[in-house]
Chains A and B, each alone.
Chain A
Amino acid sequence: MIQAIINTILQFIEGLVVPVIAVLPDSPFQKITFENLGPLSNVMGYINYFVPMGEILAFLGLYLVAVAIWYGARWMLRIAKYID
């Protein structure tokens, strides 16, 4: 019963928000693809031939998560006065 009420409220909000958002322009950044880069279309392929961008970015993602967790832990430790 509660679930149905919540779903109804959400659908009502969605019905209000979606038409407004649909008026907004499409993102120009997502139109950037390899195909419309022209002469540079193969450049990233060449770069990836030497530099493993995918692995490096995935590693950076994990690293940032770890850093965020560390900041959270540091905040907790500071609250506990374990560190300054």
Chain B
Amino acid sequence: MRKISVLMIIIMLITITLLPQKASSNVAFKIIAKQVTKQTKEVGQSMITKAGVRTSNKTALERANDAWFARLAREEAEAIALAGQRATPSGTPGWLKIAVGATLWATGVDIIMDLLSEPVEDREPIDYYSTENYLRNSEAKVTGDFGIKHQVVQSPKNPNNWTLLFTDAKGDQYYFSTFNPINQYNDITHIKDYDQSKILKSVKYGILNDETIYIDLDIEGDTSKDVLINPTKYGFNVNDIDYLLSHTPTGREKIWVFMIDIDNYGTYYHFLRKNPSSNNINLPVYRIYESKNLDETLSNVSIDKISGGAWFFGENDPCSCGPWSTAGRIYTLPWGVPDGTYSFTSYSQIVRPLDMFLTQNINRGYFKRDQTTNMLYVQSTLPDATYMPQPTPAYIPNPNTDIFPDDEYAVEILIPDPSFYPDTVLGIQQNANFLQGLEPYPNLNPIAPPEPAPGNNMPINIEDPGTPGLNIITTKFPFSLPWDIYHLISLLVADPVPPAFLVDTVYRDLDIEFSHEMSYLDPYMPFFRTFIFIVVAGSIIYRTRSLLGGAN
């Protein structure tokens, strides 16, 4: 009878566990879909009533609202159905897949997997600012200078759009590109052909003498090299360039330098400049790969003499195309931040020392490579006008003035309190015999011998430690086996410690770190342990009869 009961319980558990999820999902789908439809109709009726719609128009509005809400309900219902479909193990249904799926569902692991896979796999493309007219019509605000801090801001118009908001040393602000904030780095997945790329480091920005603008990107991605080698995948749209240069911060900029550091490939310099001989902004584009040995070529190029056409430097970038045949996109839309409320979500580095490349005065000159730093720079013919002296800290007088200014170091003078120290001279005089060993030192706190137990008349000699010589057998193999058994059994007894788990791992680029301590069970565990002890004692009682055999 007892076996039958246990068997029935097991069958029930298996049935509940292996219950096909799809059936339950279908049930949930119908219930929720019906509820959604009901609620949306109620909302529609409420809106019509509050709007004071006249009776003659009410029918038409009701129909429109019904249609809209019906569609809404259907969409939500489809989403529910999709969720149910996703909850069901994919592929051909088999008992193993159903068992695995049901186990995941019963244990909640499927929810965790969905949560983890959502931000990693379900990326959606987002819009960018280039089509926003209010940006195009904004006025330039940046007037130049170094020391740029950038912040991550959210678009007030489209919450899915984020951008880098730059603030220069003068407090002026301007945009750089938009990006998807899902990645912890500055994801530029919005950029066409750069789906797998991302900005690794930071973005530096600088304007030198109102003539050159620098933007420095560090990009990593599987397709970066391919994008670079294939010029048709990356370039600047002529319309964007027109806009870009016509909206320079000061209107006097001549050169734009995009320094793009490609992972495992080198630095990719993208130069833009105005055509000095034409009012029309027909810009040459220079591509210089730092990984190539271009010292001689660069040193012979005067940037003021270049006009028109496309100029490419680098073996992998043949100049077989027209100026703008490498039409791509530039998603840099300066300047000026339109009015609106921006939510600042993070904050990165502020002013940092500029590297050698930026600190060079490149008012005009020639590109060269510094032999020490192996970096490109422009040899200047003008004094360094871009040097920005750092403000010196304000003088703060020291409140602890040195009263001995001529001394080389401070000396701490201790003035002991006479009442704190005992009179050692008197103590020595009174205990001279003890100190000289003439008398035993009196034990001021003698240890009283323990009182003999009642009925035990044997004298206790605490001075006799026993026979330590024979105790050696407790540690010598194989005579120590009885004590070894005792030792191993004693290992089973330990102080109760509440279990604590610390999970610190990385799953699909997501850092999973959490800890769980069970110390909250402390008030209840004595009862639980007592219960366990009673169960053990009861089981021993139950087994004693068969163990010992009953008396005849």
Q: Which residues of A contact B (CB under 8 A)?
A: 14, 17-18, 21-22, 24-30, 32-34, 42, 44-57, 59-60, 63, 67, 70, 74, 83-84
Contact = CB atoms under 8 A, between A and B. Distances in A.
25 contacts: A18-B472, A24-B477, A24-B478, A25-B477, A26-B476, A27-B475, A27-B481, A29-B481, A30-B480, A45-B494, A45-B495, A48-B493, A48-B496, A49-B525, A50-B528, A51-B529, A52-B529, A53-B494, A56-B536, A57-B489, A59-B533, A59-B536, A59-B537, A67-B547, A83-B551
Given A26-B475, A49-B498, 11 more contacts: A21-B472, A21-B473, A26-B476, A32-B488, A34-B491, A47-B494, A48-B495, A49-B497, A50-B529, A51-B532, A63-B540
B484 to A, nearest CB: 4
B525 A29 contact: no
A34 B494 contact: yes
Closest CB pairs A-B (n = 9): A45-B497, A29-B484, A27-B480, A44-B494, A24-B476, A49-B496, A52-B529, A54-B493, A46-B499
Given A45-B496, A52-B532, A84 B476 contact: no
B470 A18 contact: yes
A26, A49, A51, A74 pick with most chain B CB within 10 angstroms: A49
Contacts, number: 104
Interface in B44-100: none
A24 B532 CA distance: 43
B491 A44 contact: yes
Contacts of A33: 491
Nearest to A25: B477
A25 B478 CA distance: 8
A28 B536 contact: no
Contacts of A47: 494
B479 A24 contact: yes
A59 B472 CA distance: 30
A84 B496 CA distance: 47
A50 B532 contact: yes
A33 B493 CA distance: 12
B467 A14 contact: yes
A54 to B, nearest CB: 4
A39 to B, nearest CB: 13
B492 interface: yes
Contacts of B393: none
B243 interface: no
B410 interface: no
B487 interface: yes
B358 to A, nearest CB: 52
Nearest to B526: A52
B469 interface: yes
B265 interface: no
Contacts of B472: 18, 21-22
B552 A49 contact: no
Contacts of A22: 472, 476
B548 interface: yes
Interface in B466-525: 467, 469-470, 472-473, 475-481, 483-484, 487-489, 491-499, 518, 525
B525 to A, nearest CB: 6
A56 B535 CA distance: 10
A17 to B, nearest CB: 7
A84 B309 CA distance: 119
A57 B529 contact: no
B498 A27 contact: no
A20 to B, nearest CB: 10
Contact of A17 (B470, B488, B529): B470
A28 B497 CA distance: 27
B477 A14 contact: no
Nearest to A26: B475
B544 to A, nearest CB: 8
A34 B491 CA distance: 7
A60 B543 CA distance: 13
A30 B483 contact: yes
A29 B56 CA distance: 96
Given A18-B469, A29-B484, A50 B479 contact: no
